Amino acid sequence: MSSNDLDLGILCPRAGKALIEKDSNFIIYGDLIKNGEGILYKKKGEVKKLAFGNGRIEQLEIIYNIFGRNIWITSGAVNTLPYLLEKKEVDGIVTDYGRYEKLKDKYKYILPKKDFVSHVLVINKKFLRDKRFIKFIKNYNDYVEEIKNGERDKWMPIYIPLKLEE
């Protein structure tokens, strides 16, 4: 994003903070999604081993919040985590709601006991007054309302409406 080719991005809070520290052209506009990640785990037996994505230290907090600190933890490339679970090398993985939706017939899913911000909106400052950004905010907020008023799975992330700054 720092190449100025992109105007906005949806990032985890850690990556968003790293970007704005590296490039003063960007700001974190606001929190976007809460509880976008949880733990997908085997349906039977005790959960003793968990895996999270390489470098995604914030995912450790999800593990600790659900299972405490007395658990074996490893990390791996995000795209390999389902394989580790399938091959029973771990009992559970930190993953997003979308992955749960694909695998919910085979595994259970749990969210942390407290809400946490999983995604923020990062925007190039020059894009703040652009009509396309204003339209993006409106469309996003319409989508949030639609989800809020529709059927909700208890594991679905919480989408946070955005305010237009004056």
Which stretches of 20-116 are assigned E, i.e. beta strand?
Answer: 26-34, 37-42, 49-53, 72-76, 92-96, 107-110
pLDDT tier, 4 (very low <50, low <70, confident <90, very high otherwise): low
pLDDT tens-digit profile of 76-93?
999 999 999 999 999 999
State whether the Cα torsion 22-12-98-60 is positive or negative. Answer: positive
Average pLDDT over residues 37-52: 92
pLDDT over 60 (residue 3): no
Give the pLDDT confidence score for residue 48 in this predicted structure.
Answer: 93
Helix-strand-coil percent breakdown of the chain, rounded to 5? 35, 30, 35
Bigger pLDDT: 10 or 166?
Answer: 10
Give the pLDDT confidence score for residue 155 in this predicted structure.
Answer: 82
Coil, strand or helix: which one is 91? coil
Average pLDDT over residues 103-126: 92
